[in-house]
Structure formats: C-alpha cells, structure tokens
Chains A and B, each alone.
Chain A
Amino acid sequence: MSAPLQRVAVLYDARCNLCRTARAWLERQPQLVPLEFLAAGSAEAARRYPYLDPAMTLEDLTVVGDAGEVWVGAKAWVVCLWALEGKRGLAQRLSAPALMPRARAVVSFVSRHRRRLGTYGEGCDCTPA
C-alpha cells in the first residue's frame, strides 16, 4: 500500500441534489490528484467496477483508487479532500483518531437524511442498474 495514489474515481448518488452540489464543489476545486466522477449505479460504474455492489454505492459515497482501494462514507470524504489542493491539512485533521468518529457520524447522518434535503431524483444524469 505504498504506491502513490494517482487518480481517484468518485461514485456519488446522481439522483440527489445535495450530492450533485457536492460534486460540483469538488470539481471546482484545484485538484492535486485528479477526481473522476461517476454516477453510482450507472452502467459505466457497473462496467468499470463490477465488484462493487450498486446498492451500496448508492447508499454511501464511494471512492475507488487506481489500485482497487475502496473507501466508503467519511473515509471517502477524507480521500476527496486529500485530493484537493490546500485541503490536505483538513483531511489530516479529520482522519485523526479524535475527529474521525465525529466525521463518520456527521457524514452518515447527512447521508441518511439526504433524500429530505432539497429535491431528490430530479435532473438525474444516471441510468440505475
């Protein structure tokens, strides 16, 4: 696990307005490690990552590294932040033992309630598998 992580695929819930907003924000940030966005549950995601359960990737943000590493939920967020220029300090702090459980709680809370935040299922750019 010492080979550098050179690019990252981000599987996000494209039906969810909040997730699309988050994706747009991530896309706007200068990236040190390129982030590639894929709609979770899409045919493209299934073709490239047949081993990932589409239902699970639709439930929690999932990040896949170029050597097959999979990060889910809060850890996926840490990886996304780490990939951005100027956000590595934040990623480092969040990943500390003192903050990670809290980060996990917040991410899972938002994730569970995201259907109620904003519109859901509109403007979907995915074809669910």
Chain B
Amino acid sequence: MDPLVPTYAAYLALTVPITLWVGSTLRRNGRVFLLDVFDGDEDLAAAVNHLLVVGFYLVNLGYVSIALKVGADVTSARQAIEALSLKVGAVVLVLGVLHLANLYVLNKLRRRAQLASWSATRPPVAPDAVWGGSARPA
C-alpha cells in the first residue's frame, strides 16, 4: 500500500477531532460572552453563536481538506511522521489564529455593548468640583 494513505488517515484522524474540540469549546464559552453582549437574550445569543461556530467549522475543515496533499515523496515511516507533523502543526496554528480572531470579535462586541451601557448617562471622569444649586444657569 502507498505509505501516504496511512499518513493521510492519521492526518484526518488527528485534525478533524481537534477541529471539533475547538469548535465545541468555542460554542460552550462563546455563549456566555454573547449572552452578555445581547443583554441576556438567549435566542439571539444562541443564533449568533451557532452562526459563528458554523463559519469556524467551514473555514477550518476547508483548510484541513486543502492542506491534505503531501508534496514530497514518502517512502519511510520517518518521512511519514515528519510530513504528518508538519501538516498537523499547520492545521493547529490555523485553528489557533482563527480561535483568537473569534475571541477578538466576541470581546469587541462585548466592549461595545459595555461602552453603550456604562457611560450612557455620565462621563467617564469624576468632576473636579461640584457646586450646589447655585450652579444652575439663570
């Protein structure tokens, strides 16, 4: 049998579960962020969360699929492990970058929501002095 076939099988057996694991982590913990952003609106948070996770899966599984092919010749077990490690490493790095990008987006949404509610009525700095009723313009 072509030694590349077990290499590809091992590649898929490693990268697909890792992707699913990161995706489920994202789904579980992203929900908390989104609930905060959408002011406790469960349905909206669940919908946005699901859409984000689907996007994550599509991009990542797409990358896993495209990156499958090993260009170099693989004739020994050593070469197979090296090729596998390179491929899995690339997938894990892409996963990491996507995951951090997702966190950035979630945090940005949360910050924006916080900003709108925090300083909606008062400026973010305390006054240097406050004068009593006499301060009201005549």
Contacts and interface: CB of A to CB of B under 8 A. Distances in A.
Interface of A: 1-5, 9, 47-51, 64-72, 75, 78-79, 82-83, 88-89, 91-92, 95, 100
A82 B123 contact: yes
Contact of B119 (A51, A68, A88): A88
B129 interface: yes
B125 A71 contact: yes
A67 B130 contact: yes
Q: How large is the interface on B (under 10, 10 to 19, 20 to 34, 35 or more residues)?
A: 20 to 34
A88 B112 CA distance: 10
B78 interface: no
Interface of B: 115, 118-138
Interface of A (DSSP majority class): mixed
B138 A75 contact: no
Given A75-B125, A79-B125, A100-B125, 6 more contacts: A5-B121, A65-B127, A69-B135, A71-B125, A92-B115, A95-B123
A69 B127 CA distance: 6
B131 A91 contact: no
A23 B74 CA distance: 71
A16 to B, nearest CB: 21
Given A75-B128, A88-B115, A92-B115, A66 B136 contact: yes
B118 to A, nearest CB: 7
18 contacts: A1-B126, A1-B127, A2-B122, A4-B120, A4-B122, A5-B123, A51-B134, A66-B136, A68-B133, A68-B134, A68-B136, A70-B127, A70-B129, A71-B127, A78-B123, A79-B123, A79-B125, A100-B125
